[in-house]
Amino acid sequence: MERLDYDVVVIGSGLAGLRAALEVSRQSRSRLHVGIVTKVQAMRSHSVAAEGGSAAVLYPQEGDSFEAHARDTVKGSDFLADQDAVERFVRLAPEELRFLERLGMPWSRRADGRIAQRPFGGHAFPRTAFAADKVGFLEMQTLYGALQAFPNVTIHHEWFATSILHDEGTFHGVTGIDLKTGAFEVVQAKAGILATGGAGRIFGFTTHGLHSTADGLLLAYQAGLPLKDMEFIQFHPTGLVPRGILITEAARGEGGWLVNSDGERFMRAYAPTLMELAPRDVVSRAEMQEIHAGRGIEDPDGTACVGLDLRHLGEERLLERLPQIREVAIKFLGVDPAQEVLPVMPAAHFVMGGVHTDLRGATPLRGLWAAGEAASVSVHGANRLGSNSTSICLVYGRITGAEAAAYAMGRQGDGAPRYQVSREEARIFDGVLRGGGDVSPYDVRDRLQCAMDAGAYVFRTGEGLGAALQEIRALQAQAYHNVVDREKEYNTNLTHVLELESLLTAAETVLVSAIARTESRGAHARLDFPGRDDATWLRHTLVYRGEDGPTLAYLPVTITTYPPTERRY
C-alpha cells in the first residue's frame, strides 16, 4: 500500500477536472500540490466526445445578453433550474471561452477573425462557440497542454477511485487501485474536487463511452452525500442507429432537418417556431411520437427511427463545419450524409442530476466540491440546453478550483482515518476480488441496461418504472461479485465488477426518484401524469442512502427573476 499526500486531489480528468486543477495551480501560484486521479488516460475522458460547442454571450452589441441566456436556460430547464446559479453561470461563461482562447484554443472564426458562433437548441440567439465539430477534444487538449506548465500537478492515469475518506463531516482523501499494477493506493488531501462525469451507461442505447459508469456518484452516495434530481436523464434526439453514436446538435444548428417516412419536417407540428432547434426534451418526445404513430423510417436492420437530412447542406459545408460527423457516419454506418438521410433516434446522453452542491460547488462534506456532469448545482434543472454542458464544466471547474485552493491554503493536513483505509482494502481484495457466485457481471450489466431502456426511456409510466426497479433490485440481490481474473495487473474484470455496483446504484436512484415524481417536467415525461404540477413538484429531489435503500427528501427551487410559465417553442 502506498500513501500519497496532496493539498488538493481532483477525482476525474474531463473538462471540469482539468479546469479545476488548473485553477488551483493559478490561485496558489503552484504552491499547492495537486493530484489528479482518473481511471482512464486523461485525454480519453468522455469530455473529448463533446462535439457541438460551448454557449456564452460573446457579442452583446449584436443583440445577445446575459438576461437572454439566463431566460433561455431557465425556460429550457422547465423552471427547475436554480436561477441564482444560472445567473452566475451565464456571466462567467464568456470569461472562460476567452480564457481558453488565450491558452491557444483553435476556435472556428468569423471572416473578421473573431470567435464564430452557431445556433443551438433552445437558445434564442446563436451563442454557441465551436471548433468545427470537435470542440470537446480541442478544449481538453488546450487544458491538458496548459497543465504541463505546472510542476505542482501530478496526473495518476488509470487509477480507479474506490472510496472517499472522511471523518466528522470532513474530507480527507480517497482510496483507489492503480490499474497498471493492481496496487491499493491511499491519496490523502486537504481538499477534494469530484469531477467524474455522468452515468450514461445505465442505458444500453447511449452516446456515452464505456467508462461513464457513475463511479463518482457512488463514491458520494456511500459517503452519505445526497444525489439531486436523478430522475432527469436527457435523451439526445440524434443518436445514430443502431450504435447510439452522437450526431451533434450542431448538425441541426447548421440547418439539418428531421424527417419522417413521408419526408416531412415533422417538428412543425410540435415546435413551429424553433422547429429542429427546440430543446432536446421537446425534440426527443416528438421523434418518439412520430415513431409510435407509424411514421418512422427504418434503418437497414429494421429498427424504427427518424431521419436526419443533411443533404441540402452540401459536401463543402459538411467538410467545413461537420467533418467528424461525416467521417463517423461513413465509417460506422457506410452512409455519406451528403448523399443519404441518417437514421437517428433519442439516445441517453446526460444526467441533469448529480451530487448536490451549493452555489459555490461545495458538497455537504466539508472540504469536498463537485463540478461538471457529476454535480448538480442546479443550472440544468429538468432539461439541459445543448452547449451549456461544456461551458458549465469550465465555469464550475474554475469556481471549485478557486474554492478548494482557498480552503487548502488555510489548513494543515490531517491523516486519513486508518479504519476506513483498512476496511476498504479488505472489501476489494478479500471481498470483491475473491468473491463467489456464478452469475456473470456482464450478463447483469446487459439486463440492467435492457431494464432501463424499457422502463425509463423518453416516455415513462409508473408501471414501467416499477418493473425496471424490481429488475434492478433483483440484480442487486444476486451474487455478481464473480471475478474470474485473479491477476493484479490491468484486471479489467475487477474494474467491470466495481463499475457494476455504481451502475446498479445510479439506476436505482433514478427509478426511485422518477416513481415519486408524479408529473411531467422537462426530460421526465410521465404518460400517466402528463401535466406539469408546480404546486406540488416545483422542487428538487434529494436521494440519500438509507439502511433499507434510497430515501427521498426535497428542496425548494430558487426563483429570482423568471416565474414559471408554460413552455412554448
Q: Residues 1-43: pLDDT tens digits?
A: 779 999 999 999 999 999 999 999 999 999 999 999 999 999 9
Cell of 208: 456515452
Q: What is the mean pLDDT of residues 136-143?
A: 98
| Contact between 37 and 221 (Cβ < 8 Å) | no
Distances (CA, A) of 65 to 59, 79, 94, 126, 559: 8, 19, 11, 11, 19
- pLDDT higher than threshold 80 for residue 174: yes
Can you tell me the distance from the alpha carbon of 237 to that of 546, in angstroms, rounded to the nearest whole number?
Answer: 35
236 catalytic? Reply is yes
| Sign of the alpha-carbon torsion through 350, 353, 357, 363 | negative
- pLDDT higher than threshold 90 for residue 439: no
Q: What is the mean pLDDT of residues 133-156?
A: 97
Cβ-based neighbour number of residue 411 at 10 Å: 12
Can you tell me the distance from the alpha carbon of 73 to that of 381, in angstroms, rounded to the nearest whole number?
Answer: 9
pLDDT per position as a tens digit, 507-555: 999 999 999 999 999 999 999 999 999 999 999 999 999 998 999 999 9
DSSP per residue, 128-151: EE-STT-HHHHHHHHHHHHHTT-T
**Which has the minimum average pLDDT: 137-146, 269-278, 425-434?**
425-434
| Contact between 212 and 201 (Cβ < 8 Å) | yes
Mean pLDDT computed over every residue of the chain: 95
The pLDDT assigned to 301 comes to 81
The pLDDT assigned to 481 comes to 75
Which pLDDT band holds residue 101 (cuts at 50, 70, 90)?
A: very high
- pLDDT higher than threshold 90 for residue 411: no
Cβ-based neighbour number of residue 564 at 10 Å: 16
| Contact between 216 and 194 (Cβ < 8 Å) | yes
Degrees to nearest 5, angle at CA 49 with 18 and 132: 100
Q: What is the mean pLDDT of residues 372-395?
A: 97
The pLDDT assigned to 480 comes to 65
Which pLDDT band holds residue 438 (cuts at 50, 70, 90)?
A: confident
- Do the bridges between strand 183-194 and strand 170-178 make them parallel or antiparallel, or are there none, so unpaired? antiparallel
Q: Is 17 exposed, middle or buried, given 0-12, 13-18 or 19+ CB atoms closer than 10 A?
A: buried
Is the preceding peptide bond at 242 cis, omega within 30 degrees of 0? Answer: yes
| Contact between 226 and 378 (Cβ < 8 Å) | no
| Sign of the alpha-carbon torsion through 69, 70, 71, 77 | positive
The pLDDT assigned to 1 comes to 75
CATH number (3.90.700.10, 3.90.1570.10, 3.40.50.9100, 3.40.50.150) of 237-346 reads 3.90.700.10
Q: What is the mean pLDDT of residues 343-347?
A: 97
Q: What is the mean pLDDT of residues 179-186?
A: 96
Nearest to 470, CA basis, from 526, 517, 511, 527: 511
Identify the CATH number of the domain defined by range 2-232+352-418. Answer: 3.50.50.60
Secondary structure (3-state) at 83: helix
Per the rule left: phi > 0, alpha: psi between -120 and 50, beta: everything else, 197 is: left
Q: Is the pTM of this model over 0.85?
A: yes
Q: What is the mean pLDDT of residues 298-324?
A: 92
Can you tell me the distance from the alpha carbon of 360 to that of 169, in angstroms, rounded to the nearest whole number?
Answer: 18
Can you tell me the distance from the alpha carbon of 336 to that of 320, in angstroms, rounded to the nearest whole number?
Answer: 15
Nearest to 141, CA basis, from 271, 47, 272: 47
Q: What is the mean pLDDT of residues 119-142?
A: 96
- pLDDT higher than threshold 80 for residue 435: no
Q: Where in the chain is the domain with CATH 1.20.58.100?
A: 420-532
Burial 425-459 (b: 16+ CB within 10 A, else e): beebeeebbeeeeeeebeebbeebbebbbebbbbb
The pLDDT assigned to 433 comes to 86
Q: What H or E segment, with its residue span, contains residue 342?
A: strand 342-351
252 catalytic? Reply is yes
Of the residues 201, 236, 349, 524, only one is catalytic, namely 236
The pLDDT assigned to 465 comes to 98
Of the residues 44, 118, 201, 252, only one is catalytic, namely 252
The pLDDT assigned to 479 comes to 60
Assess if CATH 1.20.58.100 describes domain 420-532.
yes
Q: What is the mean pLDDT of residues 415-440?
A: 87
| Contact between 363 and 357 (Cβ < 8 Å) | yes
| Contact between 254 and 316 (Cβ < 8 Å) | no
For residue 309, the cross-strand partners are 257
Q: What is the mean pLDDT of residues 492-501?
A: 94
pLDDT per position as a tens digit, 239-272: 999 989 999 999 999 999 999 999 999 999 999 9
For 432, half-sphere exposure in the C-beta direction (CA atoms, 13 angstrom radius) is 20
Which residues does 468 contact at the CB level (< 8 Å), separation at least 6?
Answer: 451, 452, 454, 455, 456, 507, 511
Q: Where in the chain is the domain with CATH 3.50.50.60?
A: 2-232+352-418
Q: Where in the chain is the domain with CATH 3.90.700.10?
A: 237-346
Cell of 460: 415513462
pLDDT per position as a tens digit, 207-248: 999 999 999 999 999 999 999 999 999 999 999 999 899 999
